[in-house]
Structure 1
């Protein structure tokens, strides 16, 4: 009888120990599951959305073309006001490209954007509202000189700026990253002022 009680007691101890161990294991699994559901990457993703990435990628390509246009001015323009404006555009947009490239790197995205929509619409392609010049338009601009170049350059840059403003307005509505949306507003403010300046240059002939 005494031996039976001892056996039963040992079995009970083993059962309690097993349950306790299992409970601890489950607790560990629950803890691990909770930790896995909130990794640093999720917290980082919450800082931006897909439109923030798209805006940065496309605006980098957009700014790059503006820089290409600005670099054409020396040696072609006969208007010192156009030359001064080109320098200011380059001075403003090059740092913005660097800023957006850094954002994309932080977000784990490539700085290379897909082809800008308006670049696929033939020689006049401004249908998408991005204001990007086509290869034909850039070639014609590159062949022009003097007053003809100044007129073409100003007209094209106005369209280019108008496209950037529309892109920025859309981003303010659809983006989520505060820094990115602030840059969009800065682009609207700066480029609208430059459009007004360029419209004045056209009136002056």
Structure 2
């Protein structure tokens, strides 16, 4: 009877030990699963990180972007300066209206371009600063007015002003379009390339409009 009882106890102990081993194995399997799960989550987190870094890649910039901003700021400033002459000097409402539209479009872009340069740790061109041709390689083909041309525009009025304004602004716009095309080809900053595309579209349309006003379109 004692031997039978002892045998029962031993059998029970063996069963318990076996059950414990099974539990440990199951736990080990769960841990392995968690490790695999963590790797899976790691992969998911990696993809989330990649998504999170997407805006950063969109925010990257290169030398062409810097040159575009540094070149376009004084270029736009001069266009605004030219447009400011129209209310008191233009002979036709069409020219005065066009000048107002040019100022309305380009003044906000100056602020945006300046903001990009500041965020990139670059110096914003000072008011009145001439364009640095070495930064964008336009070799004088940016359409900027000379001081003499600006003085001539300031001294003109009526039909003479309209003709000079339109002819000079066409050349000015053509320079801006060339700069914008260079940015689209070589730039890396998505918002700058988007602005360049908008400049090409809007200023190309204004060039055609000005040519029609001159009777050349």
Report the TM-score, using the length of structure 2 for normalisation: 0.67
Hey, what's the Cα distance between the residues in 2 that align with 1:91 and 1:200? 21
Name which of 74, 84, 101 aligns with 2:97. 84
1:115: Cα distance to partner? 3.5
Alignment match, 2:87 = 74
Q: Extract structure 1 runs of 4+ deviating beyond 4 A.
A: none
Hey, what's the Cα distance between the residues in 2 that align with 1:104 and 1:171? 15
Hey, what's the Cα distance between the residues in 1 that align with 2:198 and 2:123? 23
Alignment match, 1:157 = 169
RMSD: 2.1
1:54: Cα distance to partner? 1.1
Preserved contact between residue 68 and residue 179 of structure 2 (Cα < 8 Å): yes
Preserved contact between residue 130 and residue 167 of structure 1 (Cα < 8 Å): yes
Hey, what's the Cα distance between the residues in 2 that align with 1:57 and 1:185? 17
Hey, what's the Cα distance between the residues in 1 that align with 2:189 and 2:158? 43
2:202 matches 1:187: no
Hey, what's the Cα distance between the residues in 2 that align with 1:106 and 1:72? 33
CA offsets, 1:49-68, max 9 Å, x none? Answer: 01111110110000000000
Name which of 102, 105, 111 aligns with 2:115. 102
How does 1:100-179 map onto structure 2 within 5 Å?
Answer: 100-112=113-125, 115-116=130-131, 128-179=140-191
1:127: Cα distance to partner? 5.8
Hey, what's the Cα distance between the residues in 2 that align with 1:133 and 1:141? 10
Unaligned regions of 5+ residues in structure 2, if any?
Answer: 1-55
Alignment match, 1:16 = none
